[in-house]
Every structure is written in C-alpha cells, then in structure tokens.
Amino acid sequence: MLELVLATGNPHKVEELRAIFASIPEAGPHALGLRVIGLKDLPGHERFHEPKETGTTFEQNASIKAMSYAVQTGRICLADDSGLEVDALNKRPGVISSHYCTHGEETGLSREVRDQANNNRVLFELQGVPMMGRGARFVCVIALAEPFLPGEARLLARVRGEFEGRIGLPASETDDSSLAVPRGSNGFGYDPLFLAAPEFSRTGAELSPAEKNSLSHRANAARLLVPRLRALFSDGASLSGSGM
C-alpha cells in the first residue's frame, strides 16, 4: 500500500484528504492503494518541529513544509498551503489568510475568534464594492517531497487547485437574502462569506461535506496530483522537477 505522510497534526485535515482521495477513482484502494497518515500517526512525532513559513506564495510555503517534514520523518511527505484571494483586495489575504486580522502574526487568538476577526476585516475592506467586483477564490497548493541526502530533501511534484466564487454582502448592504453573508454552519474560516461558483447562491459553509470534497480547492489540487503519484509509484521513477 502506498503510504503518504500529510504534514499536519490536525486529524480533521487528514480525514478530509483521505475522503478526497477516496472519491477519486484513480486514487482509490483498487488503483493506487493510497493511505494517508498524519504526523501524529508516526512514532516519535513529539520531536517534529514546525518550519517557519517564510515564503511569499502558496507554492513556496507548501514546498518549505513538505521538504522540512520529509527530512524530519525520513518519509515521503505531502504538505499543502492554502488561503483566500480576493480580486478587489489585490489577492489579499493570500498567504496570511489564517492570520489576516493580525497582519500575518500569530498572537495566540483562538481559531473561532481569529476566524471572526478575519471575516470582519475582509468585509470591512470590501465596503462599497459591488457584487460583480467581489470575485474571489480559495487556493490550495500541494507539494510532495522525499528525503534525499542526509539532512536534505527534494521536491517531487507541486500542483495548484482553485475554487472560484465571490464574497457576499453584509446584510446591511443588501435586501437580497441570497447574497447576504455570513451564512452556514458546515464550514470554517472564510467559508461563511464565500458564495460558491457557478450559482453564487450558497456559501462554502452551506455545502455538505461531500459537495465540498468534490468542489474545493484542495480536491482540485488532489486530482491534479494523482497522475504524478501514479507515475512516481508505478515505475519508481522520480518526478523531481516536474509540475513546478
């Protein structure tokens, strides 16, 4: 069985990626026989340290994480970096999406408090922008790396998935309930603000888990990664340098 380490200690993220790969016929148990595990599934996981994400792009940060954990674990590692891009905000929040309210700094706020503050900042900065100008997308870049020389790793593949939509309007700015946000309880982060394309009638937080796993930026990136995985593990060939 092909075993990949997802470079995260978040069990929900591991389960999400497992579900996504399970929904892709080419990656299922009768194709690749893929098994995704998290860092906490490895012995001695307490010694792993999280690398500093010093990149200015999703691609750079995903690569930093994948290569760092490949060295630390001695295994092939998959890492992702994701966030929200809003066209009217010059692609912000971008790589600081999870800490947008604190300008990218970790200040110890709880996830719930931080999500609310992030959403409030995005809505504030979009005041007065009409619906057609509120285009946005969730972005996910997945990087795959393997340990190479002692203390070094090499990048095997990197793919980018996107999920298009628009940021809705606060209820105070619209009489159309289908455009008013935040709405929904199934998501987190910016999901309650994000009206998913192509209908733009439901937010990311109103989609079922199955719908989200088929439409999301992470799902789209995973689909692009599957052919690379098949090529890599079917004949043992390295994908180093491809997909950059």
Active site residues: 81
Provide the Cα torsion 41, 223, 32, 68; round to 10°. Answer: -40
Strands 135-147 vs 153-167: parallel, antiparallel or unpaired? antiparallel
CA distance between the termini of the chain: 27
State whether residue 18 is helix, strand or coil. Answer: helix
- Per residue, the 3-state secondary structure of 193-227, as one string, reads HEEECCCCCCEHHHCCHHHHHHHCHHHHHHHHHHH
d(CA 13, CA 219): 12
In whole angstroms, what is the distance from residue 218 CA to residue 163 CA?
8
Task: Tally the residues of the chain.
Answer: 244
- Helix 217-235 to helix 11-22 angle (10° resolution) is 70
